[in-house]
Every structure is written in C-alpha cells, then in structure tokens.
Amino acid sequence: MATESNGPTRRAVITAAAACLAPAAAAGPSRQVSLATISANYQEGFRQIASAYEKRHRDVRVNVQIMPANGYETWLRTQIPGGGSGAPDLFNANYAWGMYEKGLMVNLSPYLERVNPYTGKRWIETLSTQFIEKFKVGGDVSFIPVDFIEIAFYYNADLFTRLGLKPPRTWEEMLRHAARIRSAGVIPFAVPGNADSYWAGTVGWMARFFTDAYTRHLVPLVLSRPGDWDYDAKRNAGFRLNLKDPYNDAYVVTNGERILKAVKDGRIRMDDARFAEVYERIFEFSRFWQRGFHGANSQTAYHLFLSGRAAVLLETSAQIGQILKDMRDLPERHRFNWGIFKVPPLVSSRFRIPPFRGVGGPGLVLGVVKKEPEQVARAVDFLMFLTTPSSARILVDQAVGHQRPLTGPMLVPGVRFPEDIRKLFAPFEGRGFERLSWRGLMDEQQSVWEWTVWAQRFMDGRLTLPEFLKRYQRTIVEAIPRVIAMQHLDMNPRTKDSRT
C-alpha cells in the first residue's frame, strides 16, 4: 500500500530537547510523581495531562522532565539503580534494556488486570495487547507502549508519474524502477552508509529485515521448550511455523541459551548459503545508491531526497513531520508531491523466503521504577491516567496543534488521527515483528561493531563475499563467551540465571 501527500497539510517540526516542564501546582503538595522522557513532541500534551491529574489529586504534583536524547540513557543508568530522590518514577524504558532483569523496574502484569479508575474498564482492555504480549520479559510486563515507529520507503511521486512508474509490488520490480530512474539522470536511492547507519540506521535496518526473512525457518529450533525456565505453554505449546502469516511467531518465546548453543554447535552459521544470498542481494541493491554512500550520514541522504536529486529514501514513520515542515518551507518551484510504500517482498529467492517484516517497535514506552509500595502505586495510578484514550488524544492533538512530529501510530485504541496524517501512517501498519535478525550476536556491541567494519569493507569492494562471510562467522563465534559472561548464563536453558 502506498500513500501520497499533496504538500504540507499538517505542520510539524522536529524539536530539540526542552527543559523541565513541571506544571504549576498549589504550594505544598505532599506527594509527587516524576516523569522523565526524551519525547519532546508530546511535551504540551504531557503538561496538559499532568495539570488535569493534579486537579483530580490536589495533594499530588506531577513533574514532567523532557531531556536531551544525548546522555539520557547514561543518566537513567546512574539515577535508577540508586533508587534515590534523583530517580524518576516513570521513564522511557526503550533506553534502559536490561533494567527489568536486574530488578529495578516494576512488573506491571498484576496492574493490567485491575480496573483503570479513569475508564471503568480493566487497564489491559484499553491498551495494545499485541505490543504488550510481544515485549514481555519472562512472561512479565515491564513497560506500557504508547506509540510505535516503523520503516518504509518515501518516494518522489512527481518523478514516478513523469517516468510512468507506480509504487512497486515486489523487490525485483523496485530494482527495475531504479534502473529506469537512473537512466533518467536521477539517483534512485539516497542511503547513508556511515558507521551509524550500519549500527542503528538504514543499512542496519536492511540487514535486519533481510536476515529476519532468511532465518525465520530457524524459529522452531530455538523455541523455549517444556522444562525451560521461560517456557510458556500458552505461547509455545502446539506452535507450527506459518511463513505466510507475518504474526505467526510474534508471541512465541525463544530461549537465548538455545540461540547461543545453536550458533556454537554450527546449526546457525553466518557463512552458509542463506547469508551469502542475503549479502548478494544487499550488494545488488547498493548499485542503485548514490556514489560514495559510505561517506554519507542520514542528513546527507535526506537532503538528496528533499532536493529532488534522489528518488527514494528509506526512513522511519517519524520522518513524516519533518518532510511536511520542509516542503512548506521550500520555495514553491522546488516542492514536489511525495508518497510512501512498504518494503516490498522479494519473490525470486531460491529459498522461498517470506515477505519482509518490520524492524520497528514501540517508540514511547513507559516503565515504572521500583520504589516503596506507596510511591509505586502513585506512579502506576498516573500511568493509568496517562494511557486512557482521552489522554492519548490530548497527546496527538497537542502535537499536531503545536506543529510537532508524531513518531507513528498510537497504541491506545480509540485515538483518531487527522485523516491526512492517518493515510500517511497507513503503510507503516500491519508489518509484523522481526524475530531472529542478525548483525552482531544478540546485539552485543563489540560484535555489532566488528560486523560493521567487515560489512562496510565488503560493500565497497575491499572484501570478497567469501572473505566477508568468513570474518563474520568468526566474529559471531568469538562473541559467544562475551555474551555468556555479560548475561551471567550457565548455558542450561532450564535454569533462570541471575543477570545482576
């Protein structure tokens, strides 16, 4: 599905991090709840919701702190473990993976079955059960997702029309379009190729959705089994892999120690025929990127697209707001109609891989820091208030009204976007979740960095494909003991290991 925008019908801007936005309150409130996040696009909404909550609870003050993304994770990891006055009550848990396993966050599962006093319904009934189920930790709910972010291709609709092209239905058709575009003197794809792009950006996304599709058949191999510490009969019993259903394996539990053992035993190898085809396909795709892409960052790629020198850009749903704003600011003669299409399926693989799925996930996810019971109860109560449909509508309305970008579709049912924004978000929906994807080993940092080095050398012709795969395999194998040590694993899937 593709959507098009005929220009900036909504105003949105990318904002810098703001200062603390604590709403005014009557003097001397005896109790406080603090929310610390980087989600500046929702800052006016947070302020309004906090004020409404304070009117209901006169003895409570809600402190909303919008922080810079740079340094936010470090700040969390220094403040939360101490559990002191500097630790927030609520925070964006997307930046604190592993804290729940260390016992620093509240298990929200019991609260989800309680009636939300602000809706009169069980809390779980007014949330996205799909995302909550997907991101459970050992069967527990460690955070509440508020919105989600996904990737898709942005394209110059005017150029496509001029060349007689339509949004492609398959990966192969997309490359044929690219050849037509290049023959017309336009760069087909603007792609950043610096280390950041491999680490957490465009090229990294490509590696993830390719390897997810090519290794999805391995999911049954690494499932948690009866007797494993994390086995969940409701999810895993009777599971049968169905490659035609993008959500078929969304909720099953895979066991990390079984993944490591499969790599160690050679049942999962980076130098096999499937991984060879993955990188053959990505290398083939790179023929249609701009020259010198390894020297480009995300802003360089975006400006190639915005200036009309490149026809297509792979970006996240959060980019919509920036494009709308920039199209408005451009001189009229430089504006163009643009659209969005999903990552199309590759249909010519000899392995008959399933369609590519998304690499996205929750954007704003709120977790509760473990403190004394009274404070936890207060924080959870405010979180219930914050995640009602009426509060979520405030977040959307205030973001749109203040010309701020929206990360992606909301995960609180009942929230309606303006129609033009809803259409733009449509290609990002219904994508499915990646299950097994590979760059480094389980995203261990050193192995991701080594993969980045070898992959860049392969993509610019300094390594042959066999040489690259050989080094990649060695990188993954050498990462196994580091992952085991980092996660304090005993390599027995039946025992729940301490990760403190």
> What is the per-residue pLDDT across 434-450, written as a single tens digit (0 to 9) for each?
999 999 999 898 999 99
β-pairing, 310-316 vs 187-190, is parallel
N- to C-terminal Cα distance for the chain?
45
Instruction: Tell me which of 48 and 18 has the higher pLDDT.
Output: 48
* Structure confidence at residue 474 (pLDDT): 98
Q: Are 312 and 155 within 8 A, CB to CB?
A: yes
Residue 66: pLDDT band (50, 70, 90) is very high
* Structure confidence at residue 258 (pLDDT): 97
For the segment 307-315, the average pLDDT, to the nearest whole number, is 98
Residue 101: pLDDT band (50, 70, 90) is confident
Residue 23: pLDDT band (50, 70, 90) is very low
Tens-place pLDDT, residues 237-257: 999 999 999 989 988 999 999
CB proximity list for 35: less than 8 A, separation 6 or greater: 46, 50, 62, 63, 64, 65, 88, 89, 90, 91, 366, 382
CA distance 312 to 338: 10
CA distance 204 to 193: 10
* Structure confidence at residue 263 (pLDDT): 98
DSSP-assigned states of every residue in 185-216? TSEEEE---SHHHHHHSHHHHHHHHHHHHHTG
Whether 151-207+276-341 and 31-148+361-428 are alike in CATH topology: the answer is yes
* Structure confidence at residue 495 (pLDDT): 93
Residue 500 pLDDT greater than 70, yes or no? no
Residue 26 pLDDT greater than 80, yes or no? no
Give how far Cα 174 sits from Cα of 90, 145, 170, 290, 362, Å: 43, 33, 6, 16, 28
Residue 488 pLDDT greater than 50, yes or no? yes
Residue 2: pLDDT band (50, 70, 90) is low
**Which CATH architecture fits 151-207+276-341?**
3-Layer(aba) Sandwich (3.40)
CA distance 190 to 299: 10
Residue 421: pLDDT band (50, 70, 90) is confident
* Structure confidence at residue 362 (pLDDT): 84
* Structure confidence at residue 321 (pLDDT): 87
* Structure confidence at residue 96 (pLDDT): 77
The superfamily in CATH containing domain 31-148+361-428 is Periplasmic binding protein-like II (3.40.190.10)
Residue 10 pLDDT greater than 50, yes or no? no
Residue 64 pLDDT greater than 60, yes or no? yes
Tens-place pLDDT, residues 146-196: 998 999 999 999 999 999 999 999 999 999 999 999 999 999 999 999 999
Question: Which residue, 290, 363, 291, is CA-closest to 320?
Answer: 363
Residue 4 pLDDT greater than 70, yes or no? no
User: Residue ranges of the domains in the chain?
Assistant: 31-148+361-428, 151-207+276-341, 216-267+439-487
Percent of the chain whose predicted confidence (pLDDT) is above 70: 93
